[in-house]
Chain A
C-alpha cells in the first residue's frame, strides 16, 4: 500500500489550508456576537435572524433563484441541441461560425459580454429586468452545457443510435430513447453548472439588470464594497453550506452508482 511522503503531505496540507481557511474564518465569524467583524465577542446567531428580516436580500434571493432555474433549463435544452449538432450534425452551412460562437463566450471577458448584451437590449428597446438577465445567462451558460454534453457524446458508441434508426425509430425517437438516457449524467451536470454560473454571476447581471430586478450577487457586491459586514458573513455561510451539501451528496450518489454498476458487471460475468 502506498503512503503519503512527508513532502506531499506538507504541500497538500498547505494547499488545502490556503483553499479552505478563508471560507472557514468566514463561517466561524458569521456566528460572532459583535458588529466588529474581526473581534470575537461570543457565539450568537443574531445575524442570521437579521438576515431573515432583510426584505431587500430576500427579494434579491428570490429573483436570483428564478433567473437561475429558468436560464439553466433553457441553457440545457439549447446547449444539448448545440452539442448534438456539433458532434452528429454532419456538414451544414456556417458550421465553423457555429462552433466559433459556442467556444468564444467561454473565453470572452464578462465585462465585454455584459456590455454587448446591454447595448443590444437598449438597441431593440427591451426593458431591462428578469427577462434580460435570463436571456443573458442562457446565452453564456448554453455554451458551457454544450461543451460538457458534447464531450460525453463524442465518447459514446454511435452504432447504438444507428441500430435504433434501423429498427424503425424516427431520429427524434432514437434521440429520446437511446441517446438521451446515455448522455443524461452529462446533461444533469451541465444543468448544475449552468445553475451555479447563473447564481454566481455578478458582472453580466449588473449590465443586464434594470432597476426593477436586482440579483443577490449585485446586492452583495454593493454592500461589501463598503466593507465586511456580519450579515454578509451569515449569508455567505448559508450559500457555502448549500453548495457543500450539494456537491458532497452528488459525489456520494455517483460513487454508489459506480459501485452498483461494478457489482452488476461482476454478476453478469458470473452467469
Chain B
C-alpha cells in the first residue's frame, strides 16, 4: 500500500502541475482570441455532455500556427534565436575549452579549489550576474572608460543594447556549463597517451589535435548542448542587455502574453518553440547514453 503512495504522490504532482498545464497550452494554442475572461474561445462546458464536447473540438483549429507563418516577426525571431544560440555556444566553447584544459592539467592539489571557483558563480543569482554587465558595457561604462584611458579607442564603443551584449551575457552566464563537462572528459584522459604521441614524432600541437581533442569530444558535445538548449528560450539576457533589434523568441512570447495579452498566439509560440527544442534534446540524450555505455 505504502509503495503505491510513494509512486502516486510524485506521479500525480507531475501529472497535475506539468503535463496538464502543458495540455492546456496546447489547447489554447488551437483556440481563438476573444475579449472576455479568460480571453479565448471555445470554453469547455462540462454540463453540455457529448454534444458540447463535439462542439468544443470542432471549434479548435490551427489558425494561430498559420498566423505565425504569415507574420514574419515570428519566424525571424525563431531564426534569430537559433543563430544567437549557435554563435554564443561556439563563443562559449572557445572561452571555456582553454579554461577546462588548464584546470585538467593543473597540479592535482589545486583542482578541487579550481572546481569550486567554477561552480561558485553558478550558485550566485543569474539575474545579478547578467545585471553586473550593464554597468560594464554601457557607453560611459567601465569597459569604455578603460579602453579610452588606455588609448585603444578614441570613441566609446556601442555594445550595450545590441546583440553583441547578448552574446557576452550568454557566454558569461553559461560558461560553467561548458567548462565542467570538458574538464571531466579531459581529467579522465591518460597523459601517457600524449607522451606516446610525442615519442612517435608528433609535435605538441599535433598531439593535441590528434589525441587530446578527440578524447574530449564527448565533453565538448555535452557542454555545447548544455549551453545551446537554454539559450534558445532565454528571456532575461536579451531583455536586459539586448536592444530593440535583438529578436529572441523567449522575449517575443513574454511580450505577446504580458503586453499584447494574446494568449492563443503566445501558446502557439510556446508549442513551436518546444517542437524546435525536441531535436537538440534528443541528440543530447543520445550523446549521454552513448557516453554511459562507453563507460559501463
Contacts and interface: CB of A to CB of B under 8 A. Distances in A.
A104 B18 contact: yes
B24 A111 contact: no
A22 interface: yes
Interface stretch (B53-61, B215-223, B269-277): B269-277
A89 interface: yes
B73 interface: no
Nearest to B6: A81
B35 interface: no
Bin the interface of chain A by size: 35 or more
B102 A119 contact: no
Contact of B105 (A8, A102, A117, A224): A8
Nearest to B44: A123
A139 B17 contact: yes
A20 B116 CA distance: 13
A167 B125 CA distance: 47
Interface string B101-120: 11101111010101011111
B132 interface: yes
Given A110-B235, A112-B274, A202-B236, A171 B2 contact: yes
Interface string A207-239: 000000000010011001101100010001001
Interface in A1-30: 1-5, 7-9, 11-12, 14-16, 18-20, 22-23, 25-26, 29
A44 interface: no
Contact of B22 (A18, A20, A85, A116): A116
B80 interface: no
Nearest to A221: B127
A23 B133 CA distance: 9
Contact of B254 (A98, A111, A117): A111
B253 interface: yes
Interface residues of B, number: 83
B13 A139 contact: yes
Interface of chain A: mostly helix, strand, loop or mixed: helix
Interface of chain B: mostly helix, strand, loop or mixed: helix
Given A203-B235, A247-B120, A236 B128 contact: yes
Nearest to A15: B99
Contacts of A220: 127-128, 131
A263 interface: no
Contacts of B136: 22, 25
B172 interface: yes
Contacts of B267: 115, 119
A78 interface: yes
Interface stretch (B64-72, B147-155, B195-203, B226-234): B226-234
Contacts of B2: 171-172
Given A109-B250, A110-B235, A243-B123, A19 B118 contact: yes
Contacts of B121: 19-20, 23
Nearest to B229: A107
List 4 tightest A-B contacts by C-beta distance, closest first.
A109-B233, A15-B99, A116-B21, A11-B98
Given A107-B284, A225-B239, 9 more contacts: A18-B175, A19-B117, A26-B132, A26-B135, A109-B273, A110-B233, A110-B235, A240-B124, A247-B120
14 contacts: A11-B101, A15-B175, A25-B132, A29-B135, A85-B6, A98-B11, A98-B14, A104-B18, A112-B270, A115-B266, A116-B25, A136-B17, A225-B239, A228-B134
